């Protein structure tokens, strides 16, 4: 099967950066040791993990001892929510349009959801009203993974500190890693989740940053790895690849934000101009330079995505974790869209490898597909 001509689903997973692949290869072959062992082969693997930990710490502004490696962003979010609740108890809050890794974990703890606005931002007044001294954890994503809106984390943290002074703040920063300087949000939150494949690293590896002194009840039980916060044999190649991808993403962030932002604007402006009834879902709200999320009046998203796939354009209906679900997006429902409107929305997400030719193909394919579906 030939490769897709226009891959516009970077929010689901971004292609592996060459730097990550090069860093991983030795640990998929000659450097195969288990880092928990004591001999020279194991020590080589353990040293690579600690070097990767230092890289993550440097680019997030947190001490290396606060870096906990996980199997991905989902596990990192679950460990944050379930770990804090299991250790401290109390009540849990999260926004109504969190990724399911947070949303379902919060609900499993009996938590309450905080409303969001039609602008794609958490309602800070509603957040304040939901808080009291018995709340022990508030989870608010840094960027919404479907519509790409950047959340007012600094203001939200200030509200939490004032209304629930004993509460910890967790932010799911998985969607932000390639595009936003993580130092400030990592300084504001007590726990931060990242997933490597969102910024050009391998799938199946992630990070939870845990502020010193925060107690977590482990979700898994086993060995003493990661200071007993996350037992199990480390994925050495994955961890090394994640660190290399993060270094590359940070080094190229300014350039990629400019170039990808230009391509995103051309895509959105071109579709709005060419397709009657095409609407960006969150208006002028600040968002990632990579995110283009639009509704097409009267067009079923699944049918549109099938035609785009046939034309060589890869896009999505929303979170990859909800792919194939019959229910409309909980993100759009939380923002006030009807179920019908939510089923008209498509996410185009750009990334480090996106080219002008891919945007050209999308600008040609989408209007044609929409016209075909409307013609019946």
Is residue 109 annotated as part of the catalytic site, yes or no?
no
DSSP type of residue 278? E
CA–centroid distance for 31 within its chain? 30
| Rounded Cα distance, 330 and 113, in Å | 12
For the chain, list the strands marked E by DSSP. 6-7, 67-70, 91-95, 112-114, 135-139, 168-172, 191-195, 206-210, 278-280, 291-296, 313-314, 345-349
The per-residue DSSP string of 10-63 comes to TTT-PPPPHHHHHHHGGGGTT----TTS-SHHHHHHHHHHHHHHHHHHHHHTS-
Which distant-in-sequence residues (6+ apart) come within 8 Å of 300 by Cβ? 343, 344, 373
3-state secondary structure of 6: strand
Structure tokens that stand for 340 in this block: 């019908």
Backbone phi, psi, residue 252, to 5°: -105, 5
Which distant-in-sequence residues (6+ apart) come within 8 Å of 218 by Cβ? 79, 83, 228, 229, 230, 231
| Rounded Cα distance, 121 and 118, in Å | 7
Number of H helices and E strands in the chain, helices first, is: 12, 12
DSSP type of residue 265? H
Nearest to 197 by CA among 249, 149, 146: 249
Catalytic-role residue among 77, 257, 314, 321: 321
Instruction: Give the 3-state DSSP-derived string for 156-207, with helices as H, strands as E and coil as C.
Output: HHHHHHHHCCCCEEEEECHHHCCCCCCHHHHHHCCEEEEEHHHCCCCCCCEE
Query: Which residues are known to be catalytic?
Result: 321
């Amino acid at each position: 099967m030939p490769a897709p001509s226009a891959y516009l689903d970077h929010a689901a997973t971004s292609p592996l950066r060459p730097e990550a692949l090069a860093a991983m290869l030795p640990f998929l072959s000659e450097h195969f040791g288990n880092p928990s062992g004591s001999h020279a082969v194991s020590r080589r693997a353990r040293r690579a993990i600690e070097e990767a930990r230092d890289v993550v710490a440097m680019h997030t502004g947190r001490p290396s001892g606060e870096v906990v490696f996980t199997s991905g962003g989902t596990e990192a979010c679950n460990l944050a929510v379930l770990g804090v609740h299991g250790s401290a108890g109390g009540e849990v809050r999260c926004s109504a349009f969190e990724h399911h890794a947070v949303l379902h974990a919060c609900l499993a703890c009996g938590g309450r959801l905080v409303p969001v606005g039609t602008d794609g931002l958490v309602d800070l007044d509603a957040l304040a009203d939901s808080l009291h001294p018995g709340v022990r954890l508030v989870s608010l994503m840094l960027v919404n993974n479907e519509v790409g809106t950047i959340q007012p984390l600094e203001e939200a943290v200030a509200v939490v500190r004032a209304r629930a002074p004993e509460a910890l703040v967790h932010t799911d920063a998985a969607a932000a890693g390639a595009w936003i300087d993580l130092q400030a949000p990592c300084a504001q939150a007590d726990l931060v989740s990242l997933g490597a494949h969102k910024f050009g690293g391998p799938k199946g590896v992630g990070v939870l940053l845990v502020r010193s002194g925060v107690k977590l009840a482990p979700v898994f039980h086993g060995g003493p790895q990661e200071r007993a916060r996350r037992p199990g044999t480390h994925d050495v190649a994955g961890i090394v690849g994640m660190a290399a991808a993060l270094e590359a993403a940070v080094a190229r962030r300014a350039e990629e934000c400019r170039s990808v932002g230009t391509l995103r604007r051309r895509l959105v402006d071109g579709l709005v101009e060419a397709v009657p009834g095409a609407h960006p879902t969150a208006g002028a709200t600040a968002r990632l330079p990579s995110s283009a999320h639009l509704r097409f009046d009267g067009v079923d998203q699944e049918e549109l995505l099938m035609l785009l796939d046939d034309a060589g354009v890869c896009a999505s209906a929303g979170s990859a974790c909800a792919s194939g679900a019959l229910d409309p997006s909980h993100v759009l429902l939380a923002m006030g869209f009807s179920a019908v409107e939510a089923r008209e929305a498509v996410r185009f997400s750009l990334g480090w490898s996106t080219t002008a030719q891919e945007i050209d193909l999308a600008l040609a394919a989408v209007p044609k597909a929409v016209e075909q579906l409307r013609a019946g």
